[in-house]
Amino acid sequence: MAAITCSILLRPGLQKALPLKPLLVLSLVLIMTLGYIPALTQTAVARTRVATLPPEEQVFIRLAGQNTALVQEERVLTLVAGINTITFSWQNVHIDPDAIYLDTLADPDDITLLSVARPPDESALEWEIYSRTDTEQPVVISYLLAGLDNLITYTALADAKEKTLDLDARIILRNFSGEDFANAAFRLSPNTVFKTDLQHLETRQVLFLAQKNLPITKTYDWDEKTMPHDPENLPDAPGIPTGYRIKNSSDAGLGFDLLPGKARIFQENGRAGTIFSGEDLVPFVPTGDTAFLQIGHSRDILVSKRRISSEKTQVRRNEKGDIQVFDEKITDRFILENTTSAPVMLTLTDRIKGQWEPVDMGHAYTLTDHQTLVFDIPLEAKEKKTIDLTYMVANIFTGTFARYNQAAPGN
């Protein structure tokens, strides 16, 4: 059984029974002293004499991803004039002892945190607080609690024409901390706060976003780095990754950071039903960025890449006749086919390494870096298209400097 205790030792006669929670007990030991030295000597004793437990006014839990949550408890301490010692201890829960903070919300002239001490061989802290007067003081105790975290999951429903998408986001609270929480305020972001119970070993799911009719663009993305160039003779066609692009903007109905999480994507089937289209991981998507959610692989859009010719030119030799530098004129052929009865937009990514220049590229493209070419190619229904890319790779070195035939990353 886990327990956190925070105890206050008051003057004799003010001791009260503790309303202990089953898993977590906070005890505060408060010692009013007339002199400094006696107060310190009483501290060790005081920890064992739990006198009163100021009840939690409110528990805030700030979630920051996996494994650890910041728990903040608002309590009201009854302080007496002089130095008060407060002990905070815990059992069977995972708390980072170096990240436990006590904040008083009072004027620093009235209340001062003097020191924090950690007793040996014990999961505990002692705070010494100076109070100018007898007072009831609200404080916030903050600590990092392991075993309590959250996941984000998304459920997306695309319309039958794949033009818009309804997006729901849920937070999954996972509590394996050893602690129960009653009506705690969970804060996912400054704008996302909700109150709920959460027991130890409980998983709870709460909807926090339901956005309708987000515009989407469906794309098919063929990348020469990951796709087979000659799929004709492969026993199992891999298919071209396809999915939806979503712009994170207020115009599109979002305009706030999307947190990472798994998205499960469904689609209306036009008959008041849905099918599951696929799932993907939503990365962190700040406002203004575009996210791509892959749903599956299309085996109805076919792409082959073949090298049709490579011709060496501008061969330069040394005095011994050894080849030092040459150019190579290359023609690569893309054979594209849309076997479906609807037009599609194919995004094709190709790479040409080294020093190169176009000769006849066959189709417009965007150069995203020195070697990456992105082609947006519309394919009509049932259309078969061939695109030849002819380019010249210049100054291909042999021997010692061959490693410079590709630009190494960095400067």
> Site residues for other proteins, window 62-101 (CB under 8 A)?
66-68, 94
Chain residues 347-376 in contact with other proteins, contact rule CB under 8 A:
none
Chain residues 223-242 in contact with other proteins, contact rule CB under 8 A:
233-239, 241-242
Question: In a 3-state reduction of DSSP, which class is residue 41?
Answer: helix
Quick one: 132 or 329, whose CB is closer to other proteins?
329
x/- mask, other proteins, residues 307-326, rule CB under 8 A, reads: xxxx-xx-x----xx-x--x
Rounded CA gap, 8 and 25, in Å?
13
Please tell me whether residue 153 binds other proteins under the rule CB under 8 A: yes
Window of 8-16, 133-141, 269-277, 356-364 that interacts with other proteins by CB under 8 A: 269-277
Residue 377 CB, nearest distance to other proteins (Å)?
18
- Report yes or no: 326 and 312 within 8 Å, Cβ to Cβ: yes
- Report yes or no: 59 and 73 within 8 Å, Cβ to Cβ: yes
Residue 82 CB, nearest distance to other proteins (Å)?
40
Please tell me whether residue 164 binds other proteins under the rule CB under 8 A: no
Residue 136 CB, nearest distance to other proteins (Å)?
27
| Residue 5 DSSP code | E
Residue-level length of the chain: 411
Window of 70-78, 123-131, 185-193, 270-278 that interacts with other proteins by CB under 8 A: 270-278
Quick one: 110 or 388, whose CB is closer to other proteins?
388
H or E element in which residue 37 lies: helix 36-47
Cα-to-chain-centroid distance, residue 280 = 14
Backbone angles phi, psi at 212, to 5 degrees: -100, 150
Q: Which of 158, 259, 373, 393 binds other proteins (CB under 8 A)?
A: 158
Please tell me whether residue 184 binds other proteins under the rule CB under 8 A: no
Rounded CA gap, 264 and 26, in Å?
41
Using CB atoms within 10 A of its CB, is residue 346 exposed (0-12), middle (13-18) or buried (19+)? buried
